Amino acid sequence: MAHIRKSRRHRTYPRRPQQQGAVLKATHVMADSMLVDHMCRACLDTHTSPPSSVPSSLITSLPDQEDSFEYALSSNGAWAGYKAHQNPEFFHKLASGQTPQIRKRPWSPAAQAGALWIGCSDSRCPETTILGLQPGDVFVHRNIANIVSATDINTSAVIEYAVAHLKVKHIVLCGHSACGGAAAALSDSRVGGVLDTWLTPLKAVRHAHGEELTSIGDDRERAVRIAELNVEAGVKVLLANFTVQEAIRDRGLEVHGCFLDLASGKVRDLGFGNAKAHVHAGHNSSGSGEIIRGHHATLVFRSGGVSMSPQ
């Protein structure tokens, strides 16, 4: 593990403050740009002015009034300015087209693997964030309760484009805990209008596994279980898709069924599909003095705070 050198220069990057003019400080020692951005968001506000080393293009004027939409636009301006400063070609490459690839280290053409992520629309499940990826790394489709139905032309079109045109090597269908759609499917009351129609496949899962679900006394555990069963049902639909079947036969496309635990932030393999996701060691919850290693960097948790060094 490489240690942080004290001689490295500290840089500050502006983020949305509680009071106008405040900035967030981050140490620029990460191997991956997204980790820098995440560390900036995790730092505490300070009431100092940005140093002269920060380009003026990175500093976004902030509205005097607290407004969520203006906040989002302001945050976007800060993010875009930072990304462009860090890598002037970043947005140019994004605009030139997409070839989703999850880049492994050490880099080699054979190590790249494009992926289609099918997940829930829930705001707590942003795939690029929880996977530690960047824009352009993964092709995404999200809907309420991550339902995959053979009759849904929207989902089917996404699958066909990702598999037949982008040539992704993985399809990941991921459910999650505390899913509102799962809870609604367990209820006998109406949600209303189109939502009841949309949840029909999930309600069918409930009836197909009624005895098992009824035997679970805890409401949260029951909701988790139906969400897992929903992933299993969706994986079966994926494996029955002709485009997917051809890609499995011709080039070894892998289909995974996974589940995100919101309480821990961890994604686990459910064992569905024609392949299993690889779970790497070192993913336990952080504690004092604990080390978590990943492809991008190493996090070291100590009583005095968190430090990060490149892999």
Q: Report, as residue numbers or ranges, the catalytic residues.
A: 120, 122, 124, 176, 179
45 annotated to bind ligand:
no
Spell out the residues 6+ positions from residue 197 whose beta carbon is closer than 8 angstroms to its own.
none
What's the chain's Rg over C-alpha atoms?
A: 22
Task: Return d(Cα 287, Cα 305) in angstroms, integer.
Answer: 11
Task: Return d(Cα 308, Cα 30) in angstroms, integer.
Answer: 6
179 annotated to bind ligand:
yes
Q: What's the sign of the alpha-carbon dihedral 261, 265, 270, 274?
A: positive
Q: Taking Cα atoms as reference points, which of 14, 5, 115 lies closest to residue 60?
A: 14
Task: Return d(Cα 128, Cα 269) in angstroms, integer.
Answer: 18
Spell out the residues 6+ positions from residue 125 whose beta carbon is closer than 8 angstroms to its own.
119, 142, 174, 176, 260, 262
64 annotated to bind ligand:
no
CB 294 within 8 A of CB 31: no
Residue 154, SS3? helix
152 annotated to bind ligand:
no
Task: Return d(Cα 205, Cα 148) in angstroms, integer.
Answer: 12
Which segments are annotated as binding site? 120, 122, 176, 179
Which segments are annotated as binding site for Zn(2+)? 120, 122, 176, 179
